[in-house]
């Protein structure tokens, strides 16, 4: 049961990160104010690429490894959770609190970490 919940969380979070990455790469239209004002970034390019490839990619890779039953899946899942928590922490430090999605994403990252730790060891 833990494995199924973890796979579902990783797929949904990964797809959300891909969508968020595309939205960010397109200039984060609809976001109130200028989130980059006061930061060292002038465009959304780097954050969009990191969100898409690193956050989304790590979550979907972890889900794929779990689906495939590979022995490294547990470790990769934990690391994907760490990546998401780190993303939220860096994002909040650069652009401040902007949305309820930030703490929600942080909580998802923590949930992925805990669930991956609770998975039975492979073998």
pLDDT of residue 43: 75
What does R_g of the chain's alpha carbons equal in angstroms? 15
pLDDT of residue 104: 96
Residues of the chain with pLDDT under 70: 30-38, 122-123
Measured CA to CA, the distance from residue 40 to residue 47 in angstroms comes to: 12
pLDDT of residue 66: 96
Measured between its terminal Cα atoms, the distance across the chain in Å is: 18
């Amino acid at each position: 049961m833990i494995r199924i919940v973890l796979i579902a969380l990783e797929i949904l979070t990964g797809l959300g990160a891909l969508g968020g990455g595309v939205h960010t790469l397109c200039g984060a239209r609809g976001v109130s104010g200028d989130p980059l004002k006061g930061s060292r970034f002038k465009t959304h390019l780097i954050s969009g690429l990191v969100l898409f490839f690193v956050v989304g990619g790590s979550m979907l890779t972890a889900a794929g490894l779990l689906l495939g039953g590979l022995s490294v899946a547990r470790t990769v899942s934990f690391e994907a959770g760490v990546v998401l928590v780190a993303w939220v922490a860096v994002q909040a430090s650069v652009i401040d609190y902007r949305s309820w999605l930030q703490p929600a994403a942080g909580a998802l990252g923590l949930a992925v970490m805990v669930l991956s730790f609770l998975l039975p060891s492979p073998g």
